[in-house]
Amino acid sequence: MKRFWKYAFPGLFGLLIYITIRILNDTVSHFRVWRRAWIITAIELVFVVAAGYITMYAFQKLFQRFDKRLQHSINFKTVLQELVWVVIITELINNTIVTPMVALTDDGLSWGDFATINIIPLLFCLVYYAVVRSNRLLQAYVNNKLLLEKMTNDQLQTELKFLKAQYHPHFLFNALNTVYFQMDDNIAEAKKSIEKFSELLRYQLYDQQQTVPIQQELHYLQNFIELQKVRSSARLQLQVHFDKSLNGEQVYPLLFLPLVENAFKYVGGDYQLNIEARREDNLLWFAVENSIPTESRYQQAIGPSRHGIGLENLKRRLELLYPAKHTFTAQKKDNTYFAAIQIQLA
Helices 111-185 and 9-29 pack at an angle, to 10 degrees, of 140
On whether residue 325 sits in a domain, the answer given is: yes
- pLDDT at position 161 is 60
Please check whether residues 242 and 316 belong to one and the same domain: yes
Residues 123 and 266 in one domain: no
What is the model's pLDDT at position 212?
A: 85
Q: Does residue 141 sit in the same domain as residue 194? A: no
Q: Quick check: is 245 in a domain?
A: yes
Residue 268 forms part of a structural domain: yes
Q: How far apart are CA 289 and CA 276, in angstroms?
A: 9
Tally of domains in the chain: 2
Strand partners, 278: 285
Do 202 and 145 lie in one domain? The reply is no
Whose CA is closest to 253, among 316, 198, 315, 209? Answer: 209
| Structural domain boundaries enclosing 231 | 186-344
The DSSP secondary structure of 77-137, one letter per residue, reads HHHHHHHHHHHHHHHHHIIIIIHHHHHTSTT---HHHHHHHHHHHHHHHHHHHHHHHHHHH
Residue 298's pLDDT is 47
Strand partners, 288: 275, 339
Same domain, 113 and 205: no
179 within a domain of the structure (yes/no) = no
Residues 224 and 120 in one domain: no
The pLDDT of residue 203 is 73
How far apart (Å, rounded) are the C-alpha atoms in residues 338 and 259? 9
Check which CATH number belongs to the domain holding 286 and give it: 3.30.565.10
CB 243 within 8 A of CB 284: no
pLDDT at 306: 45
- Distance CA(28)–CA(332), nearest Å, equals 90
Query: Are 213 and 138 found together in one domain?
Result: no
Domain assignment present for residue 163? The answer is no
What angle in degrees, to the nearest 10, is found between the helix axes of 9-29 and 38-70? 130
Same-domain pairing of 200 and 327: yes
Exposed e or buried b per residue across 205-236, where buried means at least 16 C-beta atoms within 10 angstroms of its C-beta: ebebeebbebeebbebbebbbebbebbeeeeb
Domain assignment present for residue 161? The answer is no
Residue 79 shares a structural domain with residue 192:
no
Question: What is the β-pairing status of strands 237-242 and 212-213?
Answer: unpaired
344 sits in which H/E element = strand 336-344
The candidate with the shortest Cα–Cα distance to 340, out of 272, 251, 265, 278, is 278
Is residue 235 located within the same domain as residue 116?
no
In a domain, 180, yes or no: no
Domain membership of residue 109 (yes or no) is yes
Task: Please report, in tens digits, the pLDDT of each residue of the chain (346 residues total).
Answer: 777 777 788 888 888 887 887 777 767 666 666 666 677 778 778 888 888 889 888 988 888 888 877 766 677 787 888 889 999 998 898 888 877 877 667 666 667 777 777 888 888 888 888 888 887 777 777 776 776 676 666 666 655 565 555 555 566 676 777 777 667 777 777 777 777 777 777 776 654 557 888 988 898 888 888 878 877 777 889 999 999 888 888 888 888 888 998 898 888 888 899 999 999 888 999 999 999 887 644 454 444 444 455 677 788 888 888 888 999 999 888 789 999 999 998 6
